[in-house]
């Protein structure tokens, strides 16, 4: 054996070590990336956006059953709610019927939690409601005028998002006139004749009004199914001039 053989044998023996070390470095980096992605997803869900699915037809045809929506949680924390916004909110008290759902097993629960972290599942959707904001604090909301329209602060609304029964033009089957109290909202479903909204909860503790503090956020996009992907409009032209009226 010559001295020239030694460096060659040394390089061959070191190659498997370097290869093994490279694999572990790759695994380490992959784990770090996955953990970072989960942490970022949790932070985004906690402070910025959140996913919900639609369990009922009260917002048809704007939202259909089993649509998935993305909610901007900066509303109303940092950005004020506006007329026409579609908002998700916690039950103000008695709007939802009590539900006795069986506890999922630990495996199913873990999968559901993991999917919710990245916005692919919404396990608490059945504990929330979604409606369109018609009245803000101080507004007088009334229905209906001689043309069957609702009005806010005396301004009649032409509502293109409504789903009404065939042959019906009246914006609400129930006549009403309310003034929205401070820090509250008057909300209604787009499927106006099939929505247990503010009109039908006036006998509850909150008298049909939704405390702004109960609002989780503003729905701004339908994320699933892909065929339904669209931005959600708050129809500013519908409510043009409403804020200019004296409440």
Which of the residues are catalytic?
Answer: 58, 131
**Alpha helices per DSSP H over 3-105:** 5-47, 74-77
Cα 199 to chain centroid, rounded:
22
Cα 16 to chain centroid, rounded:
52
Strands 155-156 and 68-72: unpaired
For 58, residues 6+ apart whose C-beta sits below 8 A from its C-beta are 130, 131, 189, 190, 191, 194, 195, 196, 197
Determine contact, residues 121/115, Cβ cutoff 8 Å.
yes
The whole-angstrom separation of Cα 241 and Cα 247 is: 12
- From residue 97, how far is each of 13, 91, 101, 129, 183 by CA, in Å? 71, 10, 12, 12, 25
Determine contact, residues 42/112, Cβ cutoff 8 Å.
no
């Amino acid at each position: 054996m010559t001295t020239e053989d030694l460096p060659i044998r040394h390089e061959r023996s070191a190659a498997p070590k370097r290869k093994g070390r490279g694999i572990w470095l790759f695994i380490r980096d992959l784990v770090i990336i996955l953990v970072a992605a989960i942490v970022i997803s949790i932070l985004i869900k906690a402070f910025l956006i959140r996913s919900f699915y639609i369990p009922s037809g009260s917002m048809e045809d704007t939202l259909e059953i089993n649509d998935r929506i993305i909610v901007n949680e900066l509303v109303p924390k940092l950005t004020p709610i506006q007329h026409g916004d579609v908002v998700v909110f916690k039950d103000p008290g008695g709007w939802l019927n009590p539900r006795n759902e069986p506890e999922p097993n630990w495996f199913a629960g873990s999968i559901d939690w993991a999917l919710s972290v990245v916005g692919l599942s919404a396990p608490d959707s059945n504990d929330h409601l979604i409606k369109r904001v018609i009245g803000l604090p101080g507004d007088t909301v009334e229905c209906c005028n001689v043309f069957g329209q609702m009005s806010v602060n005396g301004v009649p609304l032409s509502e293109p998002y409504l789903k009404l029964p065939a042959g019906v033009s009246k914006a609400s089957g129930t006549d009403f006139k309310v003034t929205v109290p401070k820090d509250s909202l008057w909300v209604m479903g787009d499927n106006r004749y099939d929505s247990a909204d503010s009109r039908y909860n006036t006998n509850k503790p909150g008298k049909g009004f939704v405390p702004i503090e109960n609002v989780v956020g503003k729905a701004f996009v339908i994320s699933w199914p892909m065929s339904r992907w669209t931005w959600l409009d708050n129809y500013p032209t519908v409510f043009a001039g409403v804020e200019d009226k004296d409440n």
